[in-house]
Amino acid sequence: MPPQTRLPLELPSNELEGVGEDTWLEVIHKMEEVYSELVADEVELEAKNTQLEQSQQFIFSLISAMSDVLIACNRDGVIEETNAALCTLVGIAEPELRGRNVTDLLADAQSVQRWQLATFHAATHEMAPVEINLRDATGQAIPVDMNCTPRLNSNGHAVGQVLVGRPMGELKRAYRQLREAHDALKTAQQQLLQSEKMASLGRLVAGVAHELNNPISFVLGNVHVLQRYSKRVAQYLQAVHQTDLPPALQALRQELRIDRLLDDLPSLMEGTIEGAQRTTEIVNGLKRFSTTGKEEVASVELNAVVERAIHWVQKGTAPHFEIHWTHTPDCLVQGNAGQLLQVMMNLIQNASDAASSNAQPVLRISLARLADSVEVSFADNGPGIAPDHLSRVFDPFFTTKAVGKGTGLGLSISYGIVEQHGGHLRCGNQPGGGAVFTLRLPLITTNAERAIPISNSR
């Protein structure tokens, strides 16, 4: 505050007639009061100017930081204020935007009509959201979701509108992120439910596998005994046939085809033993599925596993399934032959089921040796995999087969087995139609011939 200056108290030499000293003193006192009030008003005005500048700076920083576009216009639609987001969107500097009409920024006549309708509703003090197209810096139409509200003066009268909007691309991106989060939540919920199902199924499978072990052991034991008995019987009959048999016995020998029976017995016994051993492997696979344990693995030649899988599927459920396969140079991987056979058979059987709708179902199996791994591809001529199902093919219990035709566990178990072997199993569609499953496994190193334990977590 500037120092106050006191007026001189000396009376002029030509004192006015009739004006006394007291009157002059009162006048001087009033002048000092007025001057003090002027100084106080000036200080208060400076303080208010400072507050106004701070408020303006605060509002300006808020407007500049807004990611949404902002337009403040008068009642005729002439732009009076805007922000950096709009300038960036339309490619026009802020000074050039001021004084222009909002309709100059709109991309089409339909947007102009919507803008006029929105301003009409805004005049009634109602929120009027509207979607309009703004013309960006390249001249392209950018859809913007705009809210229009009235702008009032100090007397409460409408003097214009304030438009705040967000490009629809950002809204769509936010909606997509929300949808992805929702899908992730649903997936987590489904995985939790599947985990509960898998736990219950594991207990059930463990009990079934235990019950199956006993009859399979009986079958294997009895067949081995029968195999030894059949050799003795064959040896005895050969000795008998070397003697001179009566004509009646010779005719009975021809009628009963004893010689052919003796020739078929060894292969029948071997087939029965092989089938029982395969059943044992399946039961062991069920045990591995239901419990966590370690299993000895060794070097496995993949060509032999593929050919064995083809043999079993064609001898069993798909005798007329045409499979194209060419034996390649030996490819050794580190793993369990029974588990890999289970994977190969599952992929071949699934290909047979998928291509069964074709008049001539065909599967092409190819083996390619890479630098440090080997790939086995299974390409069928079926209808292929629907795009919506590609991400769920290996999920437990997911199946596109009819009720009672599949459990949805085969590919899930196969995927887990391949992962345990350090490999990867993926699926896709061929350009010409049909599905293709590709199995990749690491080749064994030169010093990895010895068996090592591998964890089985499925």
- Least confident piece of the model among 11-20, 65-74, 84-93: 11-20
Output the pLDDT for position 436: 92
Residue 65 domain-assigned (yes or no): no
What is the domain count for the chain? Answer: 1
- What pLDDT does residue 193 have? 64
Give the integer Cα–Cα distance in Å for 113 and 115: 5
pLDDT score, position 124? 58
More confident residue, 281 or 97: 97
Decide which of 109 and 184 is more confident.
109
The rounded mean pLDDT for the chain is 78
Q: Which of 204-213, 214-223, 273-282, 417-426 has the highest mean pLDDT?
A: 417-426
Domain membership flag for residue 104? no
Cβ-based neighbour number of residue 67 at 10 Å: 10
In a domain, 366, yes or no: yes
Structural domain for 309, as ranges: 294-458
pLDDT tens per residue across span 117-159: 777 666 555 555 778 888 887 888 888 887 888 888 878 788 8
Cβ partners under 8 Å of residue 75, min gap 6: 158, 159, 160, 161
- Does 106 have pLDDT greater than 80? yes
Judged against a pLDDT cut of 70, whether residue 200 lies above it is answered with no
Q: Is the pLDDT of residue 437 over 90?
A: yes
Percent of the chain at pLDDT exceeding 70? 78
Which tens digits make up the pLDDT trace of 63-84? 665 668 888 888 888 888 888 8
Q: Is the pLDDT of residue 11 over 90?
A: no
- Predicted confidence band at 449 (pLDDT cuts at 50, 70, 90)? very low
pLDDT of residue 62: 63
Residues 403-423: what's their mean pLDDT? 77
- Domain assignment of residue 384, yes or no: yes
- Three-state SS letters, the chain: CCCCCCCCCCCCCCCCCCCCHHHHHHHHHHHHHHHHHHHHHHHHHHHHHHHHHHHHHHHHHHHHHCCCEEEEEECCCEEEEECHHHHHHHCCCHHHHCCCEHHHHECCHHHHHHHHHHHHHHCCCCCEEEEEEEECCCCCEEEEEEEEEEEECCCCCEEEEEEEEEEHHHHHHHHHHHHHHHHHHHHHHHHHHHHHHHHHHHHHHHHHHHHHHHHHHHHHHHHHHHHHHHHHHHHHHHHHHCCCCCHHHHHHHHHHCHHHHHHHHHHHHHHHHHHHHHHHHHHHHHHHHHCCEEEEEEEEEHHHHHHHHHHHHHHCCCCCCEEEECCCCCCEEEECHHHHHHHHHHHHHHHHHHHCCCCCCEEEEEEEECCCEEEEEEEECCCCCCHHHHHHCCCCCCCCCCCCCCCCCHHHHHHHHHHHCCCEEEEEECCCCCEEEEEEEEECCCCCCCCEEEEECC
- 456 falls in which pLDDT band (50, 70, 90)? very low
235-256 pLDDT, tens per residue? 888 888 888 888 888 888 888 8
Evaluate whether residue 353 is within a structural domain.
Answer: yes
Inside any domain, residue 161: no
- Residue 454 banded pLDDT, cuts 50, 70, 90: very low
pTM of the predicted protein model: 0.40
Q: Residue 317 is part of a domain; what is its CATH number?
A: 3.30.565.10
Structural domain includes residue 239: no
> Does residue 414 lie within any of the structural domains?
yes
Q: What is the pLDDT of residue 263?
A: 84
Predicted confidence (pLDDT) at residue 391 exceeds the cutoff of 60: yes
